[in-house]
Structure 1
Amino acid sequence: MSAAVELQPLNEAKKVEDAEVEEETPEPEDKGNLVFYIILLHGIGTLMPWNMLITISYDYFESYKMLANSTIDMDTGKVTGDPTVYSSNFQSFQTIASQVPNLLLNLLNIFIVVKGGLAGRITVGLSIVAVCVITTMIFIYVETSTWLTGFFTLTIITIIVLNGANGVYQNSIFGLASELPFKYTNAVIIGNNLCGTFVTLLSMSTKAVTRNILDRSFAYFSIALITLVFCFISFHILKKQRFYQFYSTRAERQRAKNEEAADNEGKMANYIATFKEAFPQLINVFLVFFVTLSIFPGVMMYVKDEKKGGTYDFPLPQNYFMDVTTFLQFNVFAFIGSIVAGRKQWPAPNKLWIPVYLRLLYIPFFIFCNYLPETRTLPVFFESTWLFIIVAASMSFGSGYFSGLSMMYTSKTVDPSKAQVAGMMAGFFLISGIVSGLIFTMVIKFVVTA
């Protein structure tokens, strides 16, 4: 290959030479789908630390670490202690501390120019998340009940930093994938859903193996840390792949051609133009995740088989009912949906809004299932547990399928020079949908129990 066509990684600091890569240069092959699997791995990596944290938070933080005078029997795993304001409200503190910085850093990541571009942001983001995971692991076997306020403060700060850095990492991965062919954006979504499935299976298996929450927590965060290490190594392998270099260099060249015109009009005008082009798909992204997070997990996990004052009568062990019907079911069907989205894209971009808007009907359905049977004041219209499971499966499949489509369509329905920014905007709307859905879950609970 001549010097005139030397390929360089995406957004690495460089001058775009007058001698450009010739348009007729054949597109290289992604040998063995290596780039696809690396992007998929980063889809897992963007959610692994947080999934591990929220899965273990009830047993580890709320039911042990945040209790006053807490003790644990290392053989039986039995925990004793007194409830505190920290334990009683930990889930609310955790939600606010995680999602607000994630949302803000996603937004800032779109507009702020950092030396080294996306490559630098991904490397720094991964490193900070890894440090936060290590910090959490250090205190697992340390007695913290004697300085509970300090430990609570440290935990919340760690959650804020972890999710802020992870927001930049996730947003940058979407920006990176958006400049590769169609299916690579969906690889991130596939990785996200595969991560959820893996964490759910890990939760069920560790419950069967040990009751000691400290050992379970150490296993959880160790796996999260190992995943981050693989992500870090794989990213440096990715930058050396000719397939990746070809598309990132081509995208950089396309942006360079448009920068002079953009400078004349102002960079903000370029962002506004990108937003206008991508807006229909950005709304689709938002609504898919808003509906999903309004229902999962905050509503689904409290739908019971037993009616008010009744007894459990479903062919699953009761202690696994929530694990299977909520977490495992959602993650498996969402994973399948995202796989299908990579193979079959229907409907077309201009018609995608129809099924996305129709998904809003899931919210009233789940409200009138046997949700919070002991405290609800609204009537239950859908008492069948099997009906709940079937509709939940369709909602989960649609979440994976339509999230994959909307994310892919966002970057591919704009001018190629705007694909990176559009992909990062889609990442921001994804997080916005998640935050809005989580908040709306609280509204649903208030309405049902008022």
Structure 2
Amino acid sequence: MLFVKQRNGLISQQKGSHSLTQLPIFKKLPNINRTIFCNYFESYLSIASTVPSVLCLVANFLLINRVPVHVRVLASLTVMLAIFVVMTVLVKVDTSSWTHGFFAVTIICMAILSGTSIVFNSSVFGMTGSFPMRNSQALISGGAMGGTISAVASLVDLVLASDVTDSALAFFLTADVFLGLCVGLYLLLSRLEYARYYMTPVWPAHVFSGEEETPQDSLRTPLVVPGSSDSATPPLRPILKKTAGLGFCIIYLFFITSIIFPAISTNIESLDKGSGSLWSTKFFVPLTAFLLFNFADLCGRQITAWIQVPGPRSKVLPGLVLLRTGFVPLFVFCNYQPRVYLQTVVFLSDVYPMLFSSLLGLSNGYLSTLALIYGPKIVPRELAEATGVVMSFYMCLGLVLGSACSALLVHLI
């Protein structure tokens, strides 16, 4: 997740000022290769991000009862930090003599980062599934805070920075520092009595059926088993059965969001672009597509700290999720460019994409947080971590499906 935030910061900067060919990796390429790599860079990056994410999610689920969560978290953080240090060094290295190799190294680094970041995120989210619901909510809100900070940083960078290579170096150094802080803070976590209480091992997961099991919210004390261990894989079928409704909500939520953001929303141009003003040419996309969306997403997630309706078994929740389908035509009929087949622009004001981005982010943050924090709470506590990983898989699946459909949709506009 961290590397995605850094990548989005760089992309938002390029959307606002220069072309993608000005990124550090492309500036080191000859003109012909630069065009080829630029045209397919996002596709390569998408594959390098998606495939390892799915594989590592499956592997993480299988390792839940075999490898302790603190080992998975610290190992993934260490690998991410090492890769980011390598990428930080490469920003200032002249690679013009081995451009194809440098491109391959970049994609490999992205693949490793994607896999390790998904292991980290799913492990931490699974771990917080055993904590009270407010802790899961705080974790999810923290992810949205990262997106907001990245969007703000990209705007500041647009105003102050003059060289994209220096900007990339600043973003990567920031990631290095925060990853180092994550390692240190996680090591301190086990020293907190509050954390130790909820991180205490419970009875090994076992297969259950029907409604005879008591959800973990009703458990007042952990079912401690001193010295016990179980290497069996957590039972997947009962988890899927219990979380089917919430799983649909999560998949469809992120499906709609990833169809629109960033493929469509970042290509909506200001109607006053011809004026040449800084607002319409430089700041419109970073502000409307990135900052407003991420800030609204953060607000939506934070609201769930005080309001948690509808409930996990309510039919209103999937109804609200399905209503978000209407965002797709709303964004399509803004001033999306270039247009080949649908020439009509219905919303002839810059206010509309700003409003739609805010509503998209707010609904995404609120509804997705509800669905994600409900999941580990409707199963017995011994299955909470495994359920958290499954909820992460739902989210990843929605993002993958949405990204694939967005690539098709942009060719139909």
State the TM-score, normalizing by the size of structure 2: 0.86
- Aligned mates of 1:51, 1:117 — CA distance in 2: 27
Query: Counterparts in 2 of 1:123-142, with a 5 A limit?
Result: 123-142=74-93
Which one-letter code corresponds to 1:334 in the other structure?
D
> Which residue matches 1:34?
none
CA distance in 1, matches of 2:19, 2:340: 26
Residues 222-371 of structure 1 mapped to structure 2, 5 A cutoff: 222-249=173-200, 252-253=201-202, 255-256=203-204, 258-259=205-206, 270-306=235-271, 311-312=274-275, 316-351=279-314, 352-371=317-336
Q: Which of residues 39, 43, 53 in structure 1 aligns to 2:7? A: 53
User: Offset of 1:65 from its aligned partner?
Assistant: 3.9
Q: State the Cα distance separating 1:67 from its structure 2 match.
A: 3.8
CA positional deviation for 1:106: 1.1
Corresponding residue for residue 394 of structure 1: 359
Deviations 1:150-199 (A, max 9, x none): 10111111111111111111110110111100111122221111111111
Structure-1 separation of matches of 2:5 and 2:254: 16
Letter of the 2:353 partner, please give it: F
Q: 2:348 aligns with which of 373, 383, 387?
A: 383
| Counterpart in the other structure of 1:63 | 22
Task: Give 1:182's match in structure 2, choosing from 133, 146, 151.
Answer: 133
TM-aligned CA distance change 1:186 to 1:67, over 3 Å: same
Does the 8 Å CA contact 1:125/1:169 hold for their aligned counterparts?
A: yes
Q: Shift in Å at residue 342 of structure 1?
A: 1.6
Q: After superposition, what is the alpha-carbon deviation per residue over 1:214-252, rounded to whole angstroms, capped at 9, x for unaligned? A: 211111001101111111111111111111111122xx2
1:62 to 1:180, Cα distance in 2 relative to 1, 3 A:
farther
1:112: how far off? 2.7
**CA distance 1:378–1:153, change in 2 (3 Å):** same
Q: Residue 63 of structure 1 aligns to which amino acid in structure 2?
A: Q
> What is residue 168 of structure 2 aligned with on the other side?
217
Indicate the larger mover: 357-366 or 298-307: 298-307
- The answer (yes or no) to whether the contact 1:304–1:372 under 8 Å persists in 2 is yes
Structure 1 position 294, deviation (Å)? 1.0
SS at match of 1:342: coil
Shift of 1:415: 2.3
Whole-angstrom distance in 1 between the partners of 2:122 and 2:171: 24
Deviation string 1:38-62 (CA, Å, 9 cap, x unpaired) is: xxxxxxxxx2222113432657974
Partner SS state of residue 191, structure 2: coil
Superposition RMSD in Å = 2.6
Cα offset for 1:101? 0.6
Inter-CA distance 407–69: structure 2 relative to 1 (3 Å threshold): closer
Deviation at 1:70, TM superposition (A): 5.0
Cα distance, 1:200 vs structure 2 = 1.0
Call closer, same or farther: CA 1:68–1:304 in 2, change over 3 Å. closer
Which amino acid in the other structure matches residue 191 of structure 1? G
Asked if the contact 2:271–2:348 (Cα under 8 Å) also holds between the matched residues in 1, the reply is no
Contact map agreement 1:105 1:168 (CA 8 A) in 2: yes
Within the candidate set 392, 400, 406, 1:427 is matched to 392
Unaligned runs of 5+ in 1: 1-46, 72-79
Q: CA deviation at 1:68?
A: 7.3
Q: What runs of 5+ residues in structure 2 fail to find an aligned partner?
A: 210-230
Question: Residue 401 of structure 2 is aligned with which of 433, 436, 444?
Answer: 436
Question: How do residues 39-118 of structure 1 correspond to structure 2 at under 5 angstroms?
Answer: 47-56=1-10, 62-67=21-26, 83-113=34-64, 115-118=66-69
1:121 to 66, 72, 78: 72
> For the residues of structure 2 that align with 1:51 and 1:81, how far apart are their CA atoms?
29
In structure 2, relative to structure 1, the CA distance for the partners of 1:275 and 1:81 (3 Å cut) is same
* Residues 329-377 of structure 1 deviation map (CA, whole Å, 9 limit, x = unaligned): 0011110110001211011112211111111221122122221255453
Aligned to 1:11: none
Deviates more, 1:335-344 or 1:53-62: 53-62
| Cα displacement (A) at 1:259 | 4.3
The aligned amino acid for 1:53 is R
> Aligned equivalents of 1:430 and 1:385: distance in 2?
31
Percent identity among equivalent residues? 23
Seen in structure 2, the aligned counterparts of structure 1 residues 189 and 273 have a Cα distance that, compared at 3 Å, is same
- Counterpart-to-counterpart distance in 2, 1:416 and 1:248: 11
Change (3 A) 1:82 1:115: closer
The more displaced of 58-67 and 368-377 is 58-67
CA contact (8 A) 1:306 1:312 kept: no
- C-alpha displacement of 1:119: 0.8
Query: What is the DSSP-based 3-state SS (H/G/I as helix, E as strand, rest coil) of the residue aligned with 1:356?
Result: helix
Aligned partners of 1:278 and 1:227: how far apart in 2? 33
The amino acid that maps onto 1:49 is: F
